[in-house]
Structure 1
Amino acid sequence: MIPETDTPLTQMLSHSLLSRGDEVALGRRIRRFTDNQQALILGAIHPSFSPLDKTLYFQAFNWLHNDAKEARETFAKHNVRLVAKIAWRYKNFLPLKDLVQEGVMALSGIAEGFDPDRGFRFSTFAYKRLMGRFNTLARQERHRKEKELRYATGQLTHNEKFGALQEVYEINPDFRDKLDGVIRTLPEAVQDTVKKHLDGKTLGQISRENNQPLSTVKDRWNQFKINLDKPEVRRLFLQK
């Protein structure tokens, strides 16, 4: 049940389902490219072929590639209702529009594996694959939220903290904004160390890069950790 005010999504849902004949024709266009892709590439670069022959192979490759791309996009466009139906079950994990967008993008790849001559409809073929994709997204989101909560409530062990901090910092803009606010309250030298470490550099690499003793770099990182463990700072990450 999509809100009527969601105009772009409503427009996407307006496309009718494809007929069995349409699905067969589209599927064969995709298969025609995938079945001939390697041969066309080899023909376009074969050392013994004339420049004209290579050009013809290259043109054929481009034509079939674009034709297959158009067919995949048509599959995706006319199966948004299927995506939305499945996405609705996962709306408590991620915004519905984001789920539908992710599902529509996945349909293009799913269409590449569809064999139109095996007798079943595309929706049957796509259903389990979309479910698998949404299950993965929901699991990742649940894992992320659990880590955020455990971090914010001080439940992570010492060894877990940095890995969780890096992971959540990278994938969650809201968390990153709050953490950047905490980092900005620290001295500039500490900020430099923290940002580089969160970006994936080891303390040893930072020490060599800044031409500073490793003990100094460790002290700066520890200063950040002490600040981060304060209850008033952890409470920031519980706020919505």
Structure 2
Amino acid sequence: MTREPEFRQWEYLTITQDARTGLVVALGGGVEAAGILQRHGFLNASPPPNPSHCLPHVMPADQRRHRATVASHALMSAGHSVYLAPALNALATPDAHRQAVVRYLVQLGQRASQASSCEEMAAVLTEIAEPEQGLLPLLRDIVVRSTLTWSRQSEAAGQDGDTADRLADATDTLADAAHDILRARNHAARTSPPPAPAAPAPAAGSAPSRPHRR
């Protein structure tokens, strides 16, 4: 009977960022992995059987990403299996979600330029100002959240609330803009397409031509 290979979890490493503390931590690994991590700036946080390391929290964020990336490649070069959280990968390509948003906005602008009917124009304006999923209402929601966060932080720091007040004014401006665009959408949706031009009537007294005989 063939024996299954032994699996020792501590030989596998995970390098990630703790959601609660923000610490960049490396979980797992043996003595060799611990040496590699420590050579790349990681500090010993807990010994086996559940070994863990972390980068100093005072280290700048960009430097922590760089250290985590370099350490992960050093570990893999030494034969270790490593999972590096995508947010810590300094070699990662730009955010694909942001690129998708930019492409969508460019395509929406093209649709607005090429709209050939009131119906097509109304569809574009709907995507901009629809109350639930429109671009402007979603953008306003982001500014509202930013206003609340800024207000809490400035209050905790004993600062004045002028910036939070200006952000609050911006949310009102966005709401008014969405309302105006929605009214334009409704008007476009109610507008009937112009009737097709009628065929010209034959001139009075004209008779149909007869074919020539040979």
Pair in the same fold by TM > 0.5: no
Structure number with higher helix proportion: 1
Structure number with higher strand proportion: 2
| Higher-Rg member (1/2) | 2
What TM-score do the two structures reach when normalised by structure 2? 0.29
What TM-score do the two structures reach when normalised by structure 1? 0.27
